[in-house]
Each structure stands twice: as C-alpha cells, then as structure tokens.
Structure 1
C-alpha cells in the first residue's frame, strides 16, 4: 500500500529554515522530519512512498541518494561506469520522487501522481507533522466505513493556560494549563493523515486546486468523508517555535511519535 507525502510547499511560515532548504528537510534530532514521518509508516509495514516534490525538490532527491550511499557498502567500477551495491543497513523503502510543480497547490500535486498510485487505496499526509496515530487502526476504520476519504481528526495542543471566569466577582472557577484546543476541547481539526480511494482524483480539477477546499468540501457534502478521531499525540511543524518544541522533545528522549526501535 502506497503512502503519498506532500513535500512541495514553500513553507513560508518557517522561513528561518526554508530559505535554504525545503520544509520536509528541516531536521529534528539530526534527521529531516520527512524521515521521521516515513519511519512512522514503516513501523506499520508501509514502505512504498511517493513524494510530491516542488520547492527545492532537487534537495529532497539528493538527500535520499546520499542517504542510500552513506548506509551501503559499494564498489564503483569507474572504468566501466558501473556501481555495485554489496550490503546496506537501511530501511526497506521504495521511494518514488515526483516533480509536481513548484507552484502547484496541494490538490494539483495529488492529481499529478495519479498514475503512480494506480487504482488502489492509498495513504496521504503532509511532510511537516508527526503523531503516534495507529495506521492499522486508521486503515481498518476506513475500510469499515466505506467512504472515498478518511481524515485523522486531532485536537490541537494548547499554547496557553485556560480558565473559566465567574462574571460577577471576577473569580476564576476552573484552570487548566495548556489544554488541547486552548480550552475548546470539542474542537477537532484536520490532522493531515488520510486514507483515500482512487475516486478522489475525480474531485480535483488541476494544479490550482487546493485539496483542503473544493475536493474535501465536495466529499463532505456527498457524505464521502469520514473522521478517525485520534486522541493521542500530534504536532505539526508550522513555525520555528514548533520546530523548537519537537527538537526539545527529541532531546529529552521521549518523542511520542517514535514507535520504531
């Protein structure tokens, strides 16, 4: 089963890092976040990846080429222009990197990899978020509900302390430090981990289509979009602050998204 990763955006909200490299190559614990995401899927046996490249996509290609060589024993037959791989100690991944256009929107990037997915169910995610979501349970949920699309619904980690205020005498009646959703615990958001059927390609017009707008809105209207509620760990990397948070968690030795050994 293939996993599609959207890795072509400009990452403007993380410009401190993305001015010199694409967002999926921003490192957490010395490895790009896209590597962490792929390890998450690989833990559940999903090792066939399609990466939608765009902005500085050549750097993503160079990373995987270098990663493969650095972890392999090789013989270079320079005279005959050949290279022989003896052994390697890396993941059993098949990685297909596709140039989906520098200015394509998310829907356009998905549309462009249609031929590589084929007529099969596939995973889709963004190249900037980690989670401890159970992909087996997510896939089972999707297969049971029989819709064209399933998204993982999460509650965003809170950034501030929240409290209930008694209007009459300005007394705080309840306080919680950084609750999910900053106190709005019924608010679920798109966590970015999808399971999709090939029918979704029919909902995407072209490069200018944003996946999260017209296609998902139409799928919801036709009752073809389900939500798998994930109450565990989830964190996107939208800003330098988010990157700092993830790096600190990794250094403390308890990254909740790390299920692999």
Structure 2
C-alpha cells in the first residue's frame, strides 16, 4: 500500500526555515520532519511512499537521490573513483517524488498522483505533522467502515478544521473551518483513502479540505478514526522548538520505531 505525503506548500508561517527549503525538509534532531513521518509509517510495514512536491521540490529530490551517500560510511579510491560501502544506512523504502506544481492546491496534488496509485487503497498525510497513530488499527478501522475515506480525528492544538461526529457512530456529519467558539476533535490528517476519492477532486485549484471532503460527508463516505494520543503539526517556529525539545529528551512520543 502506498503512502501519499503532501509536501508542496511554501510554509509561510515558518519562513525562518522555509526560505531555503520546503517545510517537510525542516529538521527535527538533524533529520527532516518528512523522515520522521516516513519512519512512523515504515514501523507498521508501510514502506512505499509518494512525495507530492511543489515548492523547492528539488531539495526533496536531492535528499533521496543522495540518501545512501550522505548517511553511510565508505572508502573511496580517489585514483579510480571506486567506492566500497562500509556501513550502508539505506532504509528499505521505495520513494517516488512527484513535482505536482508550485501553485497547485492540496486536492490537485492528490489528483496528480492518480496514475501512480491506480485502483488501490492508499494512505495520505501531511508532510509537516507527527503523531503516535497506530497505522494498523487505522487501516483495520477503515476496512470495517467500508467508506471512501477515513480521517484521523485528534485533540486540537486550537487552529484546525472541525469535524462534526455523530454521537453513536464514527461517521463525519460536517467538516468546516474552525471559529473562536469551537472545541472538540479536529482533522489530524493520517487518512486512508479508496481510489474513488479522485472522483471528488476537480482540478489543480481544488483544496482537499474543502469541497472534496464536503462531498464525501454528503455521501456518507467519510469516517473518523479517533486518536487520543500525541499529535502535533509543525506550523510555527514555536512548534519546531517543542518538537526539538521532545526529540532531544529521548522520549519523543511519535518515535514508535526502535
């Protein structure tokens, strides 16, 4: 099963870091937050990734093209150029990097991956947030619900799209932007999608969190997997500092891998 990661935005609220690199490449503990997200999925056996790039996508491309070279010990014969890898640090991942356009919206980026996904169920998340979501439980929940899309509902940090949930089930009854009076669970990403979701995305200008998700709600095709554990997106420099502190403590909640 493939994991789509939205990694194309410019990250204007983190401009101190994103003037020279895309937001998913901002580092936590000397590793891009994108790497942390991928490690979390890989822990649950999900190791085939499709990175949906846009802004400074060349930085992401170079990172993965040079991953083994910059992460491994080696001996090089300068006369011949022969290299002996002493300790290859390659991950057992298969990574596709797509340039989905500089100004393409989130829905449009997803739509551009349709040919890569084909007719298969896929995971989807944002390239700037981490959590200790149990992906196995999420996938099992999605299969039980039998819907086109499942979104992970999380305890909010206070600034995200609000999910209206039925009291006696896990179906989403509304999806809208947050206002000052809102409390409760919000959209934390970490979706599981059927290929039918491509049908609710119109074009490059479509914002995934707006019309597509509203259409899924109208068709009773959006379920919510409730996650009560850790979740934090890296939206601001303060968020980055919090994540750095947690990682430096050796007790980062999202580090589910060994």
TM (norm. structure 2) is 0.85
Checking the alignment, whether the CA contact within 8 Å between 2:41 and 2:135 is kept in structure 1 is yes
State the match for 2:215 in structure 1.
218
State the match for 1:95 in structure 2.
95
* Higher deviation after alignment, 130-139 or 60-69: 60-69
Three-state SS of the structure 2 residue aligned to 1:143 is helix
State the match for 1:177 in structure 2.
none
State the match for 1:46 in structure 2.
46
| CA drift at 1:8 | 0.3
Gap runs ≥5 in structure 1: 160-183
State the match for 2:172 in structure 1.
none
Higher Cα Rg, which structure: 1
Checking the alignment, whether the CA contact within 8 Å between 2:68 and 2:89 is kept in structure 1 is no
Give the direction of change, closer, same or farther, for the CA distance of 1:114–1:80 in structure 2 (3 Å limit): farther
| CA drift at 1:103 | 0.4
Three-state SS of the structure 2 residue aligned to 1:119 is coil
Give the direction of change, closer, same or farther, for the CA distance of 1:111–1:249 in structure 2 (3 Å limit): same
Gap runs ≥5 in structure 2: 160-180
| CA drift at 1:67 | 1.5
Three-state SS of the structure 2 residue aligned to 1:150 is strand
Give the direction of change, closer, same or farther, for the CA distance of 1:82–1:194 in structure 2 (3 Å limit): farther
Checking the alignment, whether the CA contact within 8 Å between 2:28 and 2:244 is kept in structure 1 is yes
1:247 to 244, 251, 257: 244
Give the direction of change, closer, same or farther, for the CA distance of 1:224–1:83 in structure 2 (3 Å limit): farther
State the match for 1:209 in structure 2.
206
* Higher deviation after alignment, 200-209 or 149-158: 149-158
d(CA) in 2 for partners of 1:78, 1:212: 52
CA RMSD of aligned residues (A): 2.5
d(CA) in 1 for partners of 2:212, 2:80: 51
Three-state SS of the structure 1 residue aligned to 2:115 is helix
Give the direction of change, closer, same or farther, for the CA distance of 1:115–1:77 in structure 2 (3 Å limit): farther
State the match for 2:225 in structure 1.
228
